[in-house]
A and B are shown apart, each in its own frame.
Chain A
Amino acid sequence: MSEPMNKITTATPEQWAAIDELREQWIANQTLQHSDADIREVVERMYAAMSKPKPITLIAPSPIAMVVWSAITVKALKKLKLDSQLDSQLDSQLGSQLGSQLDSQLDSQLRSQLGSQLYSQLRSQLGSQLDSQLGSQLYNQLYSQLYSQLRGQLDSQLGSQLYSQLGSQEWFVGYYYRAWSGWYRGGQVLGAKYDIQKLDLFVDWNERASCWVAYDGLCVVSRNPTQVHWSDGELHNESGPAVQYADGWSHYAVGGVAVDEQIVMSPQSQTIEQIRKEDNEEVKRIRIERFGWDRYIAEVGAKVIDHRRNDVDGTHEGLFSLPDGMRAFVGRCRSTGRVYFLEVGPKVRSCAGAQKWMLGGRQGNIIGAS
């Protein structure tokens, strides 16, 4: 910041309209494909900002390829180093992980400093409106949805298949910072002035390098996905992947809920056992919806024990017995209209008993629901 600024206290309707456009553009930018040269340029700029020598930059087609490539490359380079076939400069650089340092650079050197600059210029009321009109949506879609689901899938795949080889690497999924980048650009629309070098580095990095593994001398980044499907701000595709990368690595989601490929692509092939063993109730609901409620109720062998009008919720609910002695409560969420098949304890005898069981068996007086 070159000079102190007066607080920005007002914004025009045109500025807010531009913020709306920026929000939509920022979400659409998730599939922008950047050139190799642009990706390398920002990696080298970031390393220079950390006072690190220019690294070898590898550009992987997906986050999973990024993790695999970095593991293989580091192993190969270390072997070369042992064999003394590496030039002396790289030999002295390579080896230590820079992930935490790069994360810290993004967080404390860029995000928080840019945030301080923005907040010092915006009247709090404007900041709140910028948050509700831009920041919260970017956070929900890019962080709560994209980040958490891609991170969860990578954790699961690397953990179950390749952990011993790859687990020690510091790999990062950077959508959290990408959401912040959009927020700071929104501040610019309102007239905020930043240290422009820092802003450009932060925004360019987050646009071009959504995921990374960083070492001294080597940085492996993932390209952006080629497809991201949204519906009402949630990852959603009922006929294919919700997120897909150029090499085919994919993530499936329905209504913002992460699911597996079978649920989307061949739901009829699910077995009753698969559905009953599903321990996430939202995924189980989606499994049943896509399998077919009538078919599921028939094939699971449900028999009616009790049903009633629930006057607190204003809905109808049922309690079924299953052939293995279990009980299942079937009810409809009064807010969303979604129907759930919730297995409850085998000793439950009534709908009221099921409600009490779900409350943990405690005494309480439900006076309302939403």
Chain B
Amino acid sequence: MQALDVLKQVQSSETIISDQPQRFSEAACDGDIFRQGDIYIWRRDKLPKSANHTKCVLQLAPGTTKGSRHCLDSSEGVAMFAVDCADALQGPWLKLDCERTITHPEHGDVICAPGVYEISFQRAYADELRRVRD
């Protein structure tokens, strides 16, 4: 198949407006992931030993653009952690004492049951390891 034919197939994929929230169930396992745009939300069994408590910020990805606005709906019941030796793809870890929602202006909400979650960023090609910029 020619590249232009594949491009047409990609372009003609149905757009699924993701306004329906997605939910991590209580039964989600360690390593299960929801992708919200260019961030990955991992269900985890426990925090890593190197996790250090940090101030909770609602926005989970750095930046001021619309694309970077992956945000917790509230800081209530949220403890946030950073890990030692984090690379460019590593985001914060979250320990939720109650259900919380990760929102985004263009992507569907991801509802997280109480538990531990890890945020990571999509990789982009570069000489050094770096996350996607948007």
Contact = CB atoms under 8 A, between A and B. Distances in A.
A334 B16 contact: yes
Nearest to B23: A368
A342 B132 CA distance: 9
A317 B10 contact: yes
Interface in B15-71: 15-18, 22, 28-29, 31-38, 40, 42, 64-67, 69
A358 B122 contact: yes
Interface stretch (A207-215, A216-224, A298-306): A298-306
A316 B14 CA distance: 9
Given A234-B66, A332-B10, A335-B18, A370 B108 contact: yes
Contacts of B37: 333, 335, 370
B104 to A, nearest CB: 8
Classify chain A's interface size.
35 or more
Contacts, number: 150
Contacts of A368: 22, 34-35, 110
Interface string A290-311: 0001100110001110010000
B32 A330 contact: no
B4 A294 contact: yes
A360 interface: yes
Given A307-B9, A330-B7, A281 B35 contact: no
A370 B22 contact: yes
B1 interface: yes
B47 to A, nearest CB: 17
A339 B11 contact: yes
Interface string B93-134: 000000000001011111000000000101111100100111
Q: Is the interface of B mostly helix, strand, loop or mixed?
A: loop
A199 interface: no
A203 B125 CA distance: 46
A318 B28 CA distance: 30
A257 B10 contact: no
A274 interface: no
Nearest to A310: B13
Nearest to B130: A279
B83 interface: no
Interface residues of B, number: 52
A314 interface: yes
A332 B35 contact: no
B3 interface: yes
Contact of B107 (A280, A344, A370): A370
B11 A332 contact: yes
Contacts of A140: 66
B6 interface: yes
Contacts of A320: 3, 6
A331 interface: yes
Most buried by B among A294, A343, A344, A359: A359
A293 B7 contact: yes
Contact of B120 (A339, A359, A365): A359
B66 A297 contact: no
Interface string A243-279: 0000000000000110000000000000000000001
A257 B65 contact: yes
5 contacts: A315-B10, A331-B10, A336-B15, A360-B120, A369-B36
Interface of A: 140, 144, 148, 234, 256-257, 279-282, 293-294, 297-298, 302-304, 307, 314-318, 320, 326, 330-337, 339, 342-345, 357-370
Closest 6 CB pairs of A and B: A370-B108, A370-B18, A148-B64, A337-B15, A318-B6, A335-B18
